[in-house]
Amino acid sequence: MNSPNAASTRFPRRPQIVEGNLSAIKARQLECLQWVQQGKSASEIGTILGISSRTVEGHLAHLCEILGVRTRIQAVVLAQDLGLLPPARKPTWASQVGLRLEPPAG
């Protein structure tokens, strides 16, 4: 039995992306998605970009439609896979609260 590749693990049914659709993606849609990647809500993104949260929701919904995915998280993962977004940094809990953890002295 073949082991599944990373794409099939992330997406049980791989989205159908038409190459022409990728050219329809607007810079503002990707900008919103980058903030989603950083964990921001639509309201926070709207405040950052100076637009309404409904406009943010619209950008993200249209982007999900273009990418053929259902959720924002799927959009982020697929955009990373396609090279539209850089890979996300994975902050640790310690770095989020400002702790520096040193290895045990030994």
Q: Give residue-wise pLDDT tens across range 5-34.
A: 554 455 555 556 655 678 889 999 999 999
* CA 7 to centroid of chain Cα atoms: 15
CATH code linked to domain 16-86: 1.10.10.10
Query: Computed over its alpha carbons, how large is the radius of gyration of the chain?
Result: 17
pLDDT-above-90 percentage for the chain: 53
pTM: 0.68
Reply yes or no on whether the pLDDT at 35 is more than 80.
Answer: yes
Return d(Cα 79, Cα 69) in angstroms, integer.
11
In the chain, where the domains are located: 16-86
